[in-house]
Amino acid sequence: MKAQAERLLTFCYMEGDGVEADTVQAALWCQKAAASGDAQAIELLPIIRECDFCGTTPARQLCVRCLKVRYCNHQCQLAHWNRATDSHKGPCKEHRRRAAEASQQDAGGASPSALQ
């Protein structure tokens, strides 16, 4: 039952269903489900760890700014950042802005948008 719930969380994070889409969290939940013996998670694990730019595996490097996407190497990270269409630049900045607002609210401060 636990492994199935972990696998279902994998899909929630992959698709952004009820949570913000996050390939890193998806991979972590898939790894937990696989470690618990879930056969579908074991099959899915190599796929979910693929590079968000080129699709190869394994993708062991995270975006150093937002920690939300995986890359197989620094070249893929730079190429994804500088790509003319579907660049990671916009979503990455948005993730960082949201994280900064959340940490300010957790610390008891007002968010930057509330100060305007």
For residue range 90-107, what is the model confidence (pLDDT) as tens digits? 999 998 888 888 888 887
Segment 13-36 mean pLDDT:
86
Q: From 31, 50, 89, select the one nearest 61 (Cα to Cα).
A: 50
Going from N- to C-terminal start, the domains of the chain cover 2-107
**What percent of the chain clears pLDDT 70, i.e. is strictly above it?**
93
Looking at residue 54, what DSSP letter applies? T
Task: With both helix axes pointing from N to C terminus, report the angle between 39-48 and 2-15 in degrees, rounded to the nearest 10.
Answer: 30
Query: What whole-number distance in Å separates Cα of residue 108 and Cα of residue 56?
Result: 42
Segment 44-71 mean pLDDT:
84
pLDDT the model gives residue 110: 54
- Are the C-beta atoms of residues 73 and 61 closer than 8 Å to each other? yes
- In 3-state terms, what secondary structure has residue 71? strand
